[in-house]
Structure 1
Amino acid sequence: MGDFTTDTEPYRRELLAHCYRMLGSVDDAEDVVQETYLRAWRSYEAFQGRSSVRTWLHRIATNACLSALSHRSRRFLPSGLGGPADDPMTPPLAAGAQWVQPIPDSMLDPAAIVASRDSLRIALIATLQELPGRQRAVFILRDVLAWPASDVAQVMGSSTAAVKSTLQRARARLEQAPPDVEQAVEPGELSAVLAHYIAAVEEADGAALEQLLRVDARVEATPWRTWFSGRAACVPYLVQQVLGSPGTWRLLPTSANGQPAAVGYHGGQAYGILLLTVTSAGIARINAFGDPGLVKRFGFPTSV
């Protein structure tokens, strides 16, 4: 056996992505990764290379995630709590739910973001939260990470046959409500759309936003359970209830979940993260996460 840090540190970002997919929260995922490394360090001498270090670490991390899930409520996006509002003048209603969080691309392996961008999209992360813990873990390891069933069996402490059965149940459940994962767009086009979006919001330009949104776009913002679907509803909602006057908002570009994003400031104070799902036909989703704590998590100041 070699040195613990040398053997295990290369997998830290990969484990963070795995725990994030499992838990839907960057805060919870970081806590579980720290716990994983503590458990691994304590049992390192007894490990003795009975499997690969990668498989061993994923087993510890997966068990830690399953334990965490048994003590925490499910995380949602607003669209997971009910249908869209009909009237864009509807005052948004708050919900006491635990929300799915975005994860900064800066915390992830850049190569993994390029190779598996779709597997980090916020729509998929939210959909995964609907699966029971063990189904979620097997689906992520088999269908997202493409691990062999034999390796997944080692992680799950079960047989290959049990892994295949669990995967079938997970797939069947997801087929009932498949995640709305949009087709990828070239990075240059993503950057241009983000720049136009930032300008439209900062200038409170509803007409410019209307041009950017797809006709079937949706807008949802935590901590509100109220959300809107269709450009005809989204634009009046944004103009009348969100944008304010020019200069009300300041947005700084960033990226999260392999998607273009912006750090939002309202009246100079941290608001949270605005995440865009962009297709060749325009912006399909705006997911706003009204959590000032996320601004610091993304490495930005709390005021501008």
Structure 2
Amino acid sequence: MELKQFKTDVLPLRNKLLCFARKMTDDTADAEDAVQEVMLKLWNIRQKLDEYNSVEALAMTMTRNACMDAWRSKRPDTLPLDEVQKASPVATPERLLEEKDEFLLMKGIIESLPPLQQTIIRMKDVEEYETEEIAEITGCGSEAIRSNLSRARKKVRELYLQTMQEKKRRNEA
């Protein structure tokens, strides 16, 4: 895509993206930053934009993601998943090793979920967002959030129990 086509196809989307970003961030400066970042990314991939069915849909998705990233970075109490693990009150080396193994198992199980379910379960169960906040951030409805969260928790529970049963069988053999 050449500059002329970029100006006619992409630049007119700026106002729509800005309105969308303002709704997501509730802050004009953050919205402006997000849209500026998206425009720069779109410019950098301008040669590949013809491969997309809808440049507008791509731009809206990129804007939503940029706003979510900005919002997450402003949460002072947000910890990465690997920092959530806490030491037990009885911190024997064996117990710490078991906890580390369980933590890594849970992390692996969560990472095996579909991306939306990963995001929702992390936001709800790790970062302790409310359902309405998750719905606003992800753009999904509250019912879809609850449904995906339920499926994710069920899958995590099934895989965890299955893995623990296999581990128990191996230890008995």
In proportion to residue count, which structure has more strand? 1
In proportion to residue count, which structure has more helix? 2
User: Scaled by the length of structure 1, what TM-score is found?
Assistant: 0.27
User: Scaled by the length of structure 2, what TM-score is found?
Assistant: 0.45
